[in-house]
Chain A
């Protein structure tokens, strides 16, 4: 399958994350999956007029291709005469990138949003959203975006949202391979268009801080070992992604790196309504509940587990390194 990749209003970090793919040489892996990179801004030889002629041929329909990947948010601003001009991002001699993306999306067999910006607007849509950034088929949580809520590709799929800021290199590679092999169906996507193979997990799953979570033993400052949910803003119990099961850059994840999950795979993560590193609370109880957890039970269990916290867990939670090791149990003889 022929693939065209465009970078819209983003940081290029999705591509850079992707280049860290660790299960074999990326370009060979793609070739094996039957994917040919027709044009990618970081990898292709063609530049300038040559690149423009190539992309124009695909946009006009003179040549056909299969997968359009868009990285970065679609910038609709500034508005001129009550219409979105797209002029905050021009590509190829003063033409708005927005127009290129719309033309190519109509010709593609599948359309894939790479990263939370292209999927939902993401970080580019934060604050007052000065560029009127949106995703391909979502404007934050609301369906729509620049392609509209009813857009479906040649086989009836909506835009496939490989969200994340950035997405894990495996998520991108595996989604593309599944599309190329016809193995990604509508059932394989969740309600935000995310492939369920990574979005049906929570960041909490496999978190190495689970014992601290069980006993609500929270870290108080960056660098401490305790659970980051109680005080430091962690949203791992609500964020859909398998970051602690499928690790990053070898052995990493946000939690393993000692900082909170900011739910970057979710729409509108960029505006949590509170400082990112602080857990909002009412009467000492965190407001953001874990997914599928009834509030009363959460409060009751938290109170109970907190009173049962072993001194070892409590002490280690606010330390930068293990102060007290687990006791050693000997078998009864």
Chain B
């Protein structure tokens, strides 16, 4: 057996290293290491609760609004309030713009450039794919960056700036929108839709969102002449990205985009072998047996304290090991769409597996499902209604906030003692996905997804390893924080 260290990984957000135990040309075991610790949970202790809104977005430059929204929900929960309708819509809009921009960054800048790797140079599709997706010079990449910059101008109006806004508050938003600003926002969304329909799909969003299974997808594909989705599907078949990198974990979604009255655009739940069960927050725990912290066995987030210990024996990552009722979970767009029962994703997973292909396709499908929701939320804003309400906190209280970030389930657990933050725990999507082993030696989702991949004992690490790792769209700065 040979141990190989793969890293540093670039084109992921933050720092990542993977150790692979290779036996007979295949990965026998994988260990995922998040090699950066900054200590936000320690920094937050003793601060005024509302100051969390300044600190937590700065955990992550790519999921900044998601962190902010989770903190706002934890504070609102502690205060026992809910924002007025406009505030809820503005929070949805702000979070959705970030999530969609992240999906775009992932596909064009992080994931696809790996198919321009030298090892594919002989493939029939290589010339076309590398011309479009080669890092820094591909045509698609240049166009996507321009579309992203224009789309992010929505943040100027919704949130003042991005990243690191303070506009998302427990009581709503600090940025009431006027009729004329809503008009300009509609224009920005319209241009983004045009980019997606021309470049990514070469079809209307409604056509893509309406594909209700593999048969429909195949029928659509046969007549498709252009678009990056068509190119991706071609790669997925040729390289069998469908079966590649399956984690076999449960799929967790905490529910995406609050539609009011307890409803979500994408429902919360836990998907396991075709069945969806309700998500029970009290079943969440974190284990630090193999993480560089004082402690060991699983604890509930509200009862945890984070005390780093670099040289802890047996520990190999700064990432903790979150578990749901003791089980590992995978989270992200694929989890959201599976839990929500989206027909195409459900059918694909049932027939071809929940691997790299399904993860990426679910993300692309979210463009087609979320952009129309953006248009609807903008129409529903009422410039004359209230946007923000006060959220006074008691001296001693508890709050929990859940949000679906681009990469999946994000939870904040807040304890207020004597008017100050007594405890603050964060479990980010990639903490779930890139979890290390727990007290029972149970590996995390990526650690399982890597097992069995063909990797030589020496020489270049094959691109499949990169495809599997990046298909999760890891955000390492959130993972450890």
Does A pair with B?
yes
**B158-175 interface mask toward A, CB cutoff 8 Å, 1 = contact, 0 = none?**
011111111101011111
Q: Check A128–B62 contact: CB distance below 8 A.
A: no
Given known A47-B9, A166-B163, A320-B388, contact A276–B155 (CB-CB < 8 A): no
Q: Check A13–B176 contact: CB distance below 8 A.
A: no
Alpha-carbon distance between A46 and B39 when the two chains are bound, in angstroms? 29
Q: Check A78–B157 contact: CB distance below 8 A.
A: no
CB closest residue in chain A, given B466: A47
Contact of B51 among A19, A27, A275 (CB under 8 A): A275
| Interface membership of B11, Cβ < 8 A | yes
Contact of A253 among B43, B64, B136, B160 (CB under 8 A): B160
| Interface membership of A15, Cβ < 8 A | yes
Q: Check A248–B156 contact: CB distance below 8 A.
A: yes
Q: Which of A57-65, A147-155, A254-262, A297-305 contacts B (4 or more CB under 8 A)?
A: A254-262
Q: Which of B52-60, B224-232, B245-253 contacts A (4 or more CB under 8 A)?
A: B52-60
Alpha-carbon distance between A259 and B171 when the two chains are bound, in angstroms? 14
Chain A positions near chain B (C-beta within 8 angstroms): 7, 9-17, 19-22, 25-28, 37, 39-49, 51-52, 75, 78, 85, 87-94, 123-124, 126-128, 130-131, 133, 165-166, 221-223, 247-260, 262, 264, 275-277, 320-321
Q: Check A257–B153 contact: CB distance below 8 A.
A: no
12 contacts between A and B (CB under 8 A): A7-B14, A11-B60, A19-B149, A27-B137, A43-B136, A89-B36, A130-B43, A131-B38, A252-B156, A253-B161, A254-B166, A259-B160
Closest 4 pairs (CB-CB, A-B): A257-B160, A13-B61, A252-B156, A250-B153
Interface residues of B in 64-122 (CB under 8 A from A): 64, 105, 109-110, 113, 116-117
Q: Check B47–A127 contact: CB distance below 8 A.
A: yes
**How far apart are A15's CB and chain B's nearest CB, in angstroms?**
7
Q: Which of B140-148, B206-214, B271-279 contacts A (4 or more CB under 8 A)?
A: B140-148
Given known A127-B45, A256-B160, contact A51–B8 (CB-CB < 8 A): yes
Q: Check A11–B61 contact: CB distance below 8 A.
A: yes
Alpha-carbon distance between A28 and B141 when the two chains are bound, in angstroms? 12
Contact of B390 among A7, A130, A221 (CB under 8 A): A221
Q: Check B51–A20 contact: CB distance below 8 A.
A: no
**How far apart are A89's CB and chain B's nearest CB, in angstroms?**
5
Q: Check B136–A44 contact: CB distance below 8 A.
A: yes
| Interface membership of B152, Cβ < 8 A | yes
Alpha-carbon distance between A262 and B155 when the two chains are bound, in angstroms? 19
Q: Check B176–A257 contact: CB distance below 8 A.
A: no
| Interface membership of B5, Cβ < 8 A | yes
Q: Check A276–B156 contact: CB distance below 8 A.
A: no
Q: Check A275–B159 contact: CB distance below 8 A.
A: no
Q: Check B160–A22 contact: CB distance below 8 A.
A: no
Residues of B near A21 (CB, < 8 A) are: 149
Alpha-carbon distance between A252 and B110 when the two chains are bound, in angstroms? 28
Q: Check A87–B146 contact: CB distance below 8 A.
A: no
Interface residues of B in 1-18 (CB under 8 A from A): 5-11, 13-15, 17
Of A22, A257, A276, most buried by chain B (CB within 10 Å of CB) is A257
Q: Which of B281-289, B356-364, B379-387 contacts A (4 or more CB under 8 A)?
A: B379-387
Q: Check B44–A127 contact: CB distance below 8 A.
A: yes
Alpha-carbon distance between A44 and B110 when the two chains are bound, in angstroms? 9
Q: Is the interface of A mostly helix, strand, loop or mixed?
A: loop
Alpha-carbon distance between A222 and B178 when the two chains are bound, in angstroms? 16
Given known A48-B7, A258-B176, contact A87–B310 (CB-CB < 8 A): yes
Q: Check A92–B8 contact: CB distance below 8 A.
A: yes
Given known A89-B36, A320-B388, contact A223–B15 (CB-CB < 8 A): no
Q: Check A11–B37 contact: CB distance below 8 A.
A: no
Alpha-carbon distance between A92 and B5 when the two chains are bound, in angstroms? 9
CB closest residue in chain B, given A219: B174
Contact of B146 among A25, A46, A49 (CB under 8 A): A25
**How far apart are B212's CB and chain A's nearest CB, in angstroms?**
35
**How far apart are A37's CB and chain B's nearest CB, in angstroms?**
7
Q: Check A257–B159 contact: CB distance below 8 A.
A: yes
Residues of B near A17 (CB, < 8 A) are: 61, 162-163
Q: Check B135–A43 contact: CB distance below 8 A.
A: yes
**How far apart are A190's CB and chain B's nearest CB, in angstroms?**
22
Alpha-carbon distance between A41 and B474 when the two chains are bound, in angstroms? 13
Given known A7-B15, A20-B162, contact A275–B50 (CB-CB < 8 A): yes
**How far apart are B370's CB and chain A's nearest CB, in angstroms?**
19
Q: Check B8–A47 contact: CB distance below 8 A.
A: yes
| Interface membership of B263, Cβ < 8 A | no
**How far apart are B479's CB and chain A's nearest CB, in angstroms?**
12
Residues of B near A91 (CB, < 8 A) are: 8, 15, 35
Residues of B near A28 (CB, < 8 A) are: 142
Q: Check B8–A223 contact: CB distance below 8 A.
A: no
Alpha-carbon distance between A41 and B136 when the two chains are bound, in angstroms? 12
**How far apart are B424's CB and chain A's nearest CB, in angstroms?**
11
**How far apart are B35's CB and chain A's nearest CB, in angstroms?**
4
Contact of A128 among B43, B160, B178 (CB under 8 A): B43
Residues of A near B39 (CB, < 8 A) are: 127, 130-131
**How far apart are A269's CB and chain B's nearest CB, in angstroms?**
10
Given known A7-B14, A92-B7, contact A22–B163 (CB-CB < 8 A): no
Q: Check A258–B175 contact: CB distance below 8 A.
A: yes
Q: Check B160–A222 contact: CB distance below 8 A.
A: no
**How far apart are A260's CB and chain B's nearest CB, in angstroms?**
7
Q: Check A13–B388 contact: CB distance below 8 A.
A: no
Residues of B near A49 (CB, < 8 A) are: 460-461
Contact of B153 among A166, A251, A256 (CB under 8 A): A251
**B305-331 interface mask toward A, CB cutoff 8 Å, 1 = contact, 0 = none?**
000101000000000000000000000
Residues of A near B169 (CB, < 8 A) are: 222-223
Q: Check A166–B17 contact: CB distance below 8 A.
A: no
Q: Check A42–B11 contact: CB distance below 8 A.
A: yes
Contact of B163 among A13, A40, A90 (CB under 8 A): A13
Residues of A near B38 (CB, < 8 A) are: 9, 75, 88, 124, 130-131, 133
Q: Check A258–B160 contact: CB distance below 8 A.
A: yes
**How far apart are A272's CB and chain B's nearest CB, in angstroms?**
9
Of A16, A90, A166, A253, most buried by chain B (CB within 10 Å of CB) is A16
Alpha-carbon distance between A250 and B152 when the two chains are bound, in angstroms? 8
| Interface membership of B42, Cβ < 8 A | yes
Q: Check A93–B165 contact: CB distance below 8 A.
A: no
Q: Check B153–A249 contact: CB distance below 8 A.
A: yes
Given known A42-B10, A78-B308, A320-B386, contact A127–B42 (CB-CB < 8 A): yes
**How far apart are B319's CB and chain A's nearest CB, in angstroms?**
14
Q: Check A258–B167 contact: CB distance below 8 A.
A: yes
Of A49, A75, A247, A262, most buried by chain B (CB within 10 Å of CB) is A49
CB closest residue in chain A, given B173: A223
Contact of A258 among B15, B45, B174 (CB under 8 A): B174
CB closest residue in chain A, given B161: A248
